[in-house]
Amino acid sequence: MRLLLSSVLFAATTSAFPNSAATLRGTGGLVVPRANQLIPVVVGGPQDTFNPNSVVAAVGDVVQFQFSNGNHTATQSTLEAPCTPLEGGMNSGHIPFTDGQTDVGTFNMPVTSTDPMFIFCATGPHCQEGQVMIINPANAQQVVDFVKAAQGTDKSVDGATTAGGTAGKIGLDIAAYVCILPLSS
Ligand SMILES: [Cu+2]
């Protein structure tokens, strides 16, 4: 029974993270859809950034914004107005991280399109400092252009309502970053 359970677990693990070459071999060259992925993006930390600031995601994937030191948002905008919320777009709202916290505020955003999705932080001057990112950018140049456009704006506009995802928490020990401040006991 124990052997059977471990085999099942192994099968589940390998199908969740399929190797593309193995997948091709296993299907005689047919490309099969991969399993949905949880894609972590660290928001804030030692610098006011999104890390990474460019993500390739498929429909069905979930981008998990993990809010590090400071107080940041992940808010959808447009290439034309990088630091202004897109009406009806995704917005996490402000999710702070304070010294001594042992969990991390998250915002899980299901990906529903492979079109480029432009995102900025609406806190203070962060967007003008270049705290922006693109999910499914057309190319690398578009990311560079978006950062430059954000730095050229005068101010940011805050999003009115939270939309397009679900706020939650994960343990700091499983976060995609190392806390830069000592934990208080
Ligand atoms: Cu920010």
Tell me what pLDDT residue 174 has: 94
CA 53 – ligand 1 centroid, Å: 13
Tell me what pLDDT residue 34 has: 72
CA–CA distance, 20 with 5 (Å, rounded to integer): 25
CA–CA distance, 49 with 69 (Å, rounded to integer): 11
CA–CA distance, 117 with 135 (Å, rounded to integer): 5
CA 131 – ligand 1 centroid, Å: 6
CA 177 – ligand 1 centroid, Å: 16
Query: What is the token pair recorded at 183?
Result: 């934990």
CA–CA distance, 6 with 148 (Å, rounded to integer): 51
CA 155 – ligand 1 centroid, Å: 13
CA 62 – ligand 1 centroid, Å: 21
CA–CA distance, 56 with 58 (Å, rounded to integer): 7
CA 39 – ligand 1 centroid, Å: 19
pLDDT in tens, 99-144: 888 999 999 999 999 999 999 999 999 999 999 999 999 999 999 9
- The answer to whether residue 13 scores a pLDDT higher than 90 is no
Confidence of residue 5 (pLDDT cuts 50, 70, 90): very low
Q: What average pLDDT does the segment 33-61 reach?
A: 93
Please give the mean pLDDT across all residues of the chain. Answer: 87
Q: Which amino acid is at 98?
A: T
Q: Which amino acid is at 13?
A: T
CA 166 – ligand 1 centroid, Å: 19
CA–CA distance, 61 with 99 (Å, rounded to integer): 31
CA–CA distance, 165 with 38 (Å, rounded to integer): 13
CA 16 – ligand 1 centroid, Å: 32
Burial of 180 (0-12, 13-18, 19+ CB in 10 A): exposed
Confidence of residue 185 (pLDDT cuts 50, 70, 90): very low
CA 48 – ligand 1 centroid, Å: 5
Beta-bridge partners for 119: 76, 133
CA 121 – ligand 1 centroid, Å: 5
Calculated CA dihedral for residues 27, 29, 30, 35, nearest 10 degrees: 60
Confidence of residue 46 (pLDDT cuts 50, 70, 90): confident
pTM of the predicted model as reported, rounded to 2 decimal places: 0.80
